[in-house]
Amino acid sequence: MSEVVIAQRGPISVELEAGKRYVWCACGRSKKQPFCDGSHSQTDLKPVLFTAEHSETAYLCCCKQTGSRPFCDGTHGKL
């Protein structure tokens, strides 16, 4: 199994648009954090597809250890 890379030890705030689909990087290798750029292709890790329910500022996980993927749950504070 491929190892996840910690992109940063804290979330990134992003503006989400209601109804729009997003692809969150789960491997930590993307140069477009927190979103996928296909860098996982050399691993067995898969990105997370999600559709924003509301237009809002969201805090997406960049340590890739969250229990509420793709959203930050504060896990980075324990790393």
Question: Taking the domains of the chain in order of start, what are their residue ranges?
Answer: 12-78
| Structure tokens, 63 | 């340590």
67: number of Cβ within 10 Å: 9
> What is the model's pLDDT at position 1?
78
| pTM (two decimals) | 0.94
Token match 């993927």: residue?
Answer: 69
Q: pLDDT, tens digit, for every residue of 4-23?
A: 999 999 999 999 999 999 99
pLDDT in single tens digits along all 79 residues of the chain: 799 999 999 999 999 999 999 999 999 999 999 999 999 998 999 999 999 999 999 999 999 999 999 999 999 999 9
Phi and psi dihedrals of 12, rounded to 5? Answer: -115, 130
- Cis before residue 11, ω within 30 degrees of 0? no
